[in-house]
Structure 1
Amino acid sequence: MNAIRTLKLAGAVLIVVASVNAWAQESESSAISAATQGTSKSAVRKANRALSRKVVQALSKGGVDTTGINVLVKGGAVTLAGSVTDPALIDKAASIAKGVSGVTSVKNALTIREGGP
């Protein structure tokens, strides 16, 4: 009888822990949508383009050749896509992008570009 009661208690604790974790994730996305709510789509796009330009400028100043790099921004989340010639530049680009004000997260999808003949 005590084993069944213990199993029920353990199951209830797992359900509570899972629901608290799901609630925390939902509130984070709600905060982002609340920040952009009431803002027109064109204003959001303009802000995304401005942040993209800031990241590209920071990369250039940091010594990263931005010729093969696309900087995509959506609400402060930055994605670096494209290719670089030196493997060390992949981590350097992500580090520089994280340091730009307004950037909330960086997804690094850069690859190494092989030098052609």
Structure 2
Amino acid sequence: MNIYEHTYIALPDARKKDIENIENKIQDILQKYSGKIHKVEDWGLRNLAYPIKKNNKGYYRNLYLEGNNSTIKEIENYEKFDNKIIKFLSIKLNKLPKEDSEMLKEKR
């Protein structure tokens, strides 16, 4: 199993329930492939560098996941078609970071 940093940006008007639904679906996909979520970071509502789908802000969430390539492909395929998600990115890591991300530190 590999470690991934997965960040997604939800619509700025996404409700707490919408975020829970997104992460429940991600959790379901991970369970299907024997993966798991190690850590969740809520970066909150932030300005976007450029408009995406006519939005200037987005609700950022960062997840540290354990899974394989098929797991990430299925998560990204789901997110392509979820109308509450405007952007996402997955990066393979060598190991799970011990400290919080810079974005989370900046938020505090």
Is this a same-fold pair by TM over 0.5? no
* Bin for the TM-score computed over the shorter chain: 0.3 to 0.5
Higher RCO (CA < 8 A, seq sep 6+): 2
TM-score, normalising length from structure 2?
A: 0.41
Q: Larger C-alpha radius of gyration, 1 or 2?
A: 1
